[in-house]
Copies of this chain bind each other. A is one copy, B any other.
Amino acid sequence: MTGTSKSALRADATRNVAQIRAAALDAFHGRGLATPLEEIAKIAGVSKATIYNRFGGRDGLIDAVIGELVATEMYAIMERAQQVADPWECIATYVSDRRDLQYREPAFTDTLRMAYPESKNLIALANKATDVTTELLHRAHEAGVVRRDFTAADLYYADIANGLALAAMPKPARADYDRRTGFFLDSLRPQ
């Protein structure tokens, strides 16, 4: 063999893969995972068909970039929460950080929604988030800092609703958004 590369890709194909990834990151960041592939192709300077050749379509492309786009930040959020000792601060940090990521990254809401069930990496992320939510909420319930009748499904519903509103309306000012997150957090307390 001539190198350490494991791929049989030709040089031009390798370059195109890199350009398409970069374009997808850029486009998904601004518009979410539903960005038309033709637009991504244009940014990358290739034709739409090349995306199908290299990634097999939107699902494969999502699989290829969701890590850099969302997974990194999501894992940071989960770890950050896990490091907060105070039970209430733990859940409050987790919820606030999720809301922050929704505000900055529409693709995060697409991930939570499992908008592309064929993308394995996306589904894995969504499931991981669900697991962590369940776990943190369980602890919060045990500690008595979150009302017993508030479930993981309730948090899921509220966050999807929030993400859809963000996508469908003019983006609210950060201050308004954060105040609303505060309201939501208040509603979690017992009584």
Query: CA A158 – CA B158 in complex, angstroms?
Result: 9
| A153 at interface by CB-CB < 8 Å | yes
* Contact residues of A between 132 and 173, Cβ < 8 Å to B: 149-150, 153-154, 157-158, 160-162, 164-165, 168-169, 172
| A80 at interface by CB-CB < 8 Å | no
Instruction: Tell me what chain A mostly uses at the interface: helix, strand, loop, or mixed.
Output: helix
| A68 at interface by CB-CB < 8 Å | no
| A12 at interface by CB-CB < 8 Å | no
Copies in the complex: 2
Contact call B169/A157, Cβ cutoff below 8 A:
yes
Specify which of B158, B162, B191 is in contact with A180 (CB 8 Å cutoff): B158
Contact call B169/A165, Cβ cutoff below 8 A:
no
Q: Across the two chains, which residue of chain B brings its CB closest to A149? A: B179
Enumerate chain B residues within 8 angstroms of A160, measured Cβ to Cβ: 165, 168-169
| A186 at interface by CB-CB < 8 Å | yes
Query: CA A97 – CA B149 in complex, angstroms?
Result: 22
Contact call A183/B153, Cβ cutoff below 8 A:
no
| A116 at interface by CB-CB < 8 Å | no
Enumerate chain B residues within 8 angstroms of A169, measured Cβ to Cβ: 157, 160
- Minimum CB–CB distance from A147 to chain B (whole Å) comes to 8
Q: Across the two chains, which residue of chain B brings its CB closest to A177? A: B157
Query: CA A172 – CA B154 in complex, angstroms?
Result: 10
| A54 at interface by CB-CB < 8 Å | no
- Minimum CB–CB distance from A151 to chain B (whole Å) comes to 8
Query: CA A154 – CA B187 in complex, angstroms?
Result: 14
Chain B CB within 10 A, most for which of A176, A183, A188: A183
Enumerate chain B residues within 8 angstroms of A168, measured Cβ to Cβ: 113, 160, 164
